């Protein structure tokens, strides 16, 4: 890996470089976010077709650590981690599912869902966490005095950090907003032995505490403010293109909260284009819950003036209660990167109400999926953009499904048992029955008859 190199640099364009093994999260001059910059001249010593065949040859194989979806792109991700320090649970390589029936029903037959939730801890967070925890293991091996890794989380980040920390035997501290995450998400870091802190605040409050906690270099920051995470998450884009035999889709929709993922996805597509593996970028849609929509509001402000969204349009909001609890964020940390990503990928920001996200998730579930509420947000935004003819019938569309529906069963139970604040459009309640075989059979036929009648 010695041929390849990468370093941290400020997104503000400041030329100063910092090693990826330095404990640093923001530019010391400007306070801006850092990003990982790769030595692209070195990467260009391999041709586009050589990269494609290298990545295709590694896909899903067993040679450590290249069978991982992330580490199969080792040179593009974190070349300074030695293979013996990689902490991988063979994340990535997630299914790109052709949503044939659902797509046809809403008017986009070439619709695909990138199932990032079918991963080790059930969300896309594994992709970034393998890179961050491996980098920490590398730093410790080089003598850095790191005692623990800490993160603030809306549930999925803490699950991923706890699992990778446990796999590497590195202590983990997670800061969670009390009562605002699902039971499945809470039990994950508990089971993996993390120090689980339940704080009487929201995610934005937890983020303030973790920034204070990680002022001390003995506790390393695990949030996506740390741009090592972004490097792993950008492999979502490389994988999508690889799964389409190196073709770029027309649209990619992704739910947005802290806005690290939307910027990671743009970064992946841009790297593919710069290194000549593709020749264009897809259009991006950042999908927010209407209850936690600061970027959507900024985008609307700019749209009213017929110009691209800029940082000055943004105001933080107090994020309200939403079924999409993992994106309940009012002051997104990766805002500046997301605004740049939207500018680069001719992006759009859309929003979905609670009713819209729940009904869209249920509609897609009826075609065989099992969507988390955040994926519901992206699907609802897709339906709206198709209805407005912004996304068109002949176009190839990818929805990034960010977590597994099984982590959010309370949401589905409430929906189907009609316990939400709005009327569920597609409830499916269990039918109470006795034990007499004749009566049960009769009841089943009645239900079948009712279902086969066309709706009034």
Continuous segment of H or E residues that includes residue 149: strand 148-152
Q: Least separation, in Å, of the C-beta of 209 and ligand PLP? A: 17
Q: Least separation, in Å, of the C-beta of 154 and ligand PLP? A: 5
The one segment of 49-57, 139-147, 254-262, 388-396 that binds ligand PLP by CB under 6 A: 254-262
Q: Binding string, 362-391, against ligand PLP, x = CB under 6 A? A: ----------x-x-----------------
Residue 399 contacts residue 112 (beta carbons within 8 Å): yes
Q: Least separation, in Å, of the C-beta of 78 and ligand PLP? A: 18
Query: CB-wise, 85 or 288, nearer to ligand PLP?
Result: 288
Integer angstrom CA distances of residue 93 from 57, 158, 184, 242: 13, 22, 23, 10
- Core vs surface per residue 219-248: b (16+ CB within 10 A) or e: bbbbbbbbbbbbbbbbbbbbbbbbbeebeb
Question: Binding to ligand PLP by residue 288, rule CB under 6 A?
Answer: no
CA 216, distance to chain mean position in Å, is 28
Q: Binding string, 156-185, against ligand PLP, x = CB under 6 A? A: xx----------------------------
The torsion of the CA quartet 45, 48, 53, 56, rounded to 10 degrees, works out to 120
Residue 229 contacts residue 260 (beta carbons within 8 Å): yes
Q: Given candidates 165, 177, 249, 257, which one binds ligand PLP under the rule CB under 6 A?
A: 257
Rounded to whole angstroms, the Cα distance separating 119 from 313 reads 36
Q: Least separation, in Å, of the C-beta of 435 and ligand PLP? A: 41
Q: Least separation, in Å, of the C-beta of 208 and ligand PLP? A: 16
Query: CB-wise, 127 or 386, nearer to ligand PLP?
Result: 127
DSSP 420-448: SSS--SS--PPPP--S-HHHHHHHHHHHH
Beta-carbon contacts of 307 under 8 Å, excluding residues fewer than 6 positions away, are: none
Q: Given candidates 397, 402, 411, 424, which one binds ligand PLP under the rule CB under 6 A?
A: 402
Instruction: Using DSSP, state whether 388 is helix, strand or coil.
Output: coil
Q: Given candidates 123, 130, 188, 322, which one binds ligand PLP under the rule CB under 6 A?
A: 123
Query: CB-wise, 85 or 130, nearer to ligand PLP?
Result: 130
Q: Given candidates 119, 154, 340, 371, which one binds ligand PLP under the rule CB under 6 A?
A: 154
Query: CB-wise, 238 or 372, nearer to ligand PLP?
Result: 372
Q: Given candidates 135, 224, 227, 242, which one binds ligand PLP under the rule CB under 6 A?
A: 224
Q: Given candidates 106, 151, 252, 326, which one binds ligand PLP under the rule CB under 6 A?
A: 326
Q: Least separation, in Å, of the C-beta of 297 and ligand PLP? A: 16
Q: Given candidates 6, 150, 327, 361, which one binds ligand PLP under the rule CB under 6 A?
A: 327
Question: Binding to ligand PLP by residue 403, rule CB under 6 A?
Answer: yes
49 C-beta neighbours (distance < 10 Å), count: 11
Phi, psi dihedrals of residue 33, rounded to the nearest 5°: -65, 155
Integer angstrom CA distances of residue 60 from 70, 116, 167, 333: 10, 15, 20, 33
Rounded to whole angstroms, the Cα distance separating 289 from 291 reads 5
Q: Given candidates 68, 258, 271, 278, which one binds ligand PLP under the rule CB under 6 A?
A: 258
Beta-carbon contacts of 54 under 8 Å, excluding residues fewer than 6 positions away, are: 46
3-state helix, strand, coil in the chain (%, to 5): 45, 15, 40
CA 217, distance to chain mean position in Å, is 27
Q: Least separation, in Å, of the C-beta of 157 and ligand PLP? A: 6
The one segment of 61-69, 149-157, 304-312, 380-388 that binds ligand PLP by CB under 6 A: 149-157
> Which residues contact ligand PLP by CB under 6 A?
123, 154, 156-157, 224, 255-261, 326-327, 372, 374, 402-403
């Amino acid at each position: 890996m010695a041929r390849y190199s990468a370093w941290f640099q400020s997104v503000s364009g400041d030329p100063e470089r910092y090693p990826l093994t330095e404990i640093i999260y923001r530019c010391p001059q400007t306070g801006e976010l850092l990003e990982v910059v790769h030595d692209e001249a070195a990467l260009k010593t391999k041709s586009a077709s050589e990269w494609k065949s290298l990545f295709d040859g590694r896909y899903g194989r067993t040679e450590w650590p290249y069978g991982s979806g992330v580490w199969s792109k080792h040179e593009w991700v974190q070349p300074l981690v030695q293979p013996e320090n990689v902490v991988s649970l063979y994340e990535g390589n997630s299914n790109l599912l052709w949503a044939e029936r659902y797509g046809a029903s809403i008017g986009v037959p070439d619709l695909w869902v990138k199932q990032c939730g079918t991963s080790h801890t059930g969300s896309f967070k594994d992709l970034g966490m393998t890179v961050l925890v491996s980098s920490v293991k590398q730093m410790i091996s080089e003598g850095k005095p790191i005692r623990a890794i800490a993160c603030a989380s809306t549930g999925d980040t803490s699950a991923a950090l706890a699992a990778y920390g446990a796999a590497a035997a590195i202590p983990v501290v997670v800061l969670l907003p009390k009562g605002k995450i699902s039971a499945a998400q809470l039990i994950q870091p508990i089971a993996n032995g993390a120090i689980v802190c339940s704080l009487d605040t929201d995610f934005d409050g937890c983020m303030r505490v973790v920034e204070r906690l990680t002022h001390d270099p003995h506790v390393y920051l695990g949030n996506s403010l740390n741009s090592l995470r972004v490097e792993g998450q950008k492999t979502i884009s490389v994988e999508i293109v690889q799964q389409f035999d190196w073709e770029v889709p027309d649209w990619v929709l992704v739910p947005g909260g802290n806005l690290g993922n939307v910027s990671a996805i743009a970064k992946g597509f841009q790297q593919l284009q710069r290194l000549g593996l593709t020749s264009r970028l897809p259009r991006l849609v950042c999908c927010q819950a209407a209850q936690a929509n600061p970027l959507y509001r900024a985008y609307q402000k700019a749209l009213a003036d017929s110009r691209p969204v800029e940082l000055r349009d943004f105001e933080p909001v107090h994020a309200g209660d939403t079924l999409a609890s993992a994106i309940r964020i009012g002051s997104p940390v990766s805002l500046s990167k997301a605004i740049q990503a939207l500018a680069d990928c001719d992006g759009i920001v859309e929003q979905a109400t609670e009713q819209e996200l729940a009904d869209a998730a249920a509609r897609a579930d009826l075609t065989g999926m099992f969507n988390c509420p955040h994926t519901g947000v992206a699907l609802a935004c897709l339906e709206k953009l198709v209805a407005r003819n912004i996304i068109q019938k002949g176009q190839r569309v990818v929805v990034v499904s960010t977590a597994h529906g099984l982590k959010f069963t309370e949401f589905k139970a409430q929906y189907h048992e009609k316990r939400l604040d709005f009327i569920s459009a597609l409830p499916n309640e269990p039918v109470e029955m006795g034990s007499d075989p004749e009566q049960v059979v009769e009841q089943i036929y009645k239900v079948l008859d009712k279902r086969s009648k066309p709706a009034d």
